[in-house]
Structure 1
Amino acid sequence: MRLNLTLHFERPFLIPYNYPRYLYSFLIHAISLADEEVAERVHNNKRDIKFVASKLLPVGEVKRTRDGLLVESGTVRLYVGSPEVTLLRGIFEGLRLGTGKLHLKGQRLLHFEAELEKPPKNLSGKLFRTLSPVSVYHNNPPNGFRQWDLSPVGQPNSPFENEPEVWKRLVFENLRSKYMMVYGEPYEGDFEIEVFPGSVKSKMFRIKRNNKTGEYTKVRAWEFEFRMRGEKRFLRVAYDLGLGMRNAHGFGMIGVV
């Protein structure tokens, strides 16, 4: 399921270019206000059901600045998806309890509206677009690279002979692990994903800071339009939990065009 949020902050509101770590902290803090146990479970248990978040979508006029997008109205839209209704309820209740107290990079939440949305009945073959960039990485790439952020259409300096195929395989493996968490059984069906090259855009993000070195973990992620084909329950996992990795930080949410 999906929680469609309209968030009203003090005007004007700055959407940082490197929004993921601020967005993640904001949502985890909201959950903790409603249920600290659930927030700790989401934050610390890598094998437990999570959520996926869209990027912050501005409402009204926007001005591009050095640090981010300045939204004159102070209003942004945010979508959060999860198969775990308790988790979505925790976000809603935490926002309610935190109105006037919660901050996103020092910017105070004034009030919000929320609507619960059910997924489309049929997802196979539909045209999708990313509502937040998709992050897929390989921890042991060839040629001595320490980690590699993969592109769905490949990169000129890639250490892989066929990067798009590796990207598809990792997306499939990641979705299978999520399917196991949701349904408690392995997925044995097929899965196809077709990315339209002309729609692909990439961006670099900073998501985490090393307390010892002060350096940030940098992530390159991609936005694009695509089609998926597979069994209904499997595609529902992609819709509810996102494509790729780092979903709770605002990566990998998808929407039907």
Structure 2
Amino acid sequence: MRLELLLRFEEPFIIPYNYPHPLYSFIIHAIEFGDPRIARRIHNNKKDIKFVASRMFPVGDREKIENGLLVRSGEVELFVSSPAWPVLEALINGLALGRRRLHILGKRLLDAEVEHVETPERLSGRKLTTLSPVNVYHNNPPNGFRQWDLSPAGQPNSPFENEPEVWKELVFENLKAKYLMVYGGSYEGDFEIKILTKMPKSKRFFIKRDEKTGKPIYARAWEFHFKMWGEEEFLRVAYDLGIGMRNPHGFGMVGIYGHRNPKKGTF
């Protein structure tokens, strides 16, 4: 299930380049206004059903400035998906109840319009688009374990012999874990994913600071077009919960290429 949100903030509104934390904070607080219990479960339980959010898309004139994208109208589009209707219901109610108290970087939410997006009947074999990070910890002697941001197309300095295959395996394992959360059983079917973009663009984002060390945690996300094949029930999990990691922070939402905007696809 997917919602399309038209949000209007106080002007001048800036979509920050490092949007993951402000975006997640906004959505989780909106859900908290709608149902505090659901917000706590999402925030505290890593193995509970969550949601996937898109980036914020500007409506009307915009201008690149030092800290982000200045949106003169104060209006942005945002898409949120989840297989759990109570999560989306809490978000809808919270946007209404928290109006003028919800904010992003100090700019208050003035109004919100919500529309339901129809779920595609078929995802297998269609051209899709996403912005997704996939991270893995690997042993890097003599420095010990370190995080590596995997590229779906591979990188010259990769510590893995075949990075694209490792990326595919992790995406599949991640989706199977999400399928287990949604349906309570293991997925035994096939899955294949093919990257269509020869040289995917990557962007590095600040996520948060480590609670123990205080050091910043970054993630590199890759933007690309792709196709995937498998049982439709399994692929809808990808549609409703995203591919890759950090989905509630604006990563991994699956868009159908070329339906409303050929650049960003339909979310």
Structure 1-normalised TM-score? 0.96
- 1:91 partner amino acid: L
| Alignment correspondent of 2:51 | 51
| Alignment correspondent of 1:201 | 201
Total equivalences in the alignment: 255
Alpha-carbon distance between aligned partners in 1 of 2:211 and 2:140, rounded to the nearest angstrom: 29
Q: What are the Cα deviations for residues 102-160 of structure 1, in whole angstroms up to 9, with x where unaligned? A: 01111110001001123100110001011xx2010112355545111100001111100
Alpha-carbon distance between aligned partners in 1 of 2:139 and 2:232, rounded to the nearest angstrom: 32
Q: Which runs of 4+ in 1 moved over 6 A?
A: none
Change (3 A) 1:26 1:230: same
Task: Provide the alpha-carbon RMSD of the alignment.
Answer: 1.2
| Alignment correspondent of 2:261 | none
| Alignment correspondent of 1:139 | 137
Correspondence 1:35-184 to 2 at 5 A: 35-130=35-130, 133-141=131-139, 144-184=144-184
8 Å CA contact retained: 1:207, 1:219: yes
8 Å CA contact retained: 1:60, 1:72: yes
2:121 is paired with a residue of what secondary structure?
coil
Alpha-carbon distance between aligned partners in 2 of 1:177 and 1:213, rounded to the nearest angstrom: 29
8 Å CA contact retained: 1:83, 1:241: yes
8 Å CA contact retained: 1:135, 1:220: yes
Change (3 A) 1:206 1:181: same
Change (3 A) 1:189 1:109: same
Alpha-carbon distance between aligned partners in 2 of 1:117 and 1:15, rounded to the nearest angstrom: 23
- 1:14 partner amino acid: I
Correspondence 1:10-29 to 2 at 5 A: 10-29=10-29
Gaps of 5+ in 2: 258-267
8 Å CA contact retained: 1:141, 1:160: no
Residue identity (%)? 59
2:138 is paired with a residue of what secondary structure?
coil
1:147 is paired with a residue of what secondary structure?
strand
Q: What are the Cα deviations for residues 160-185 of structure 1, in whole angstroms up to 9, with x where unaligned? A: 00000000000000000000000111
Gaps of 5+ in 1: none
- 1:140 partner amino acid: H
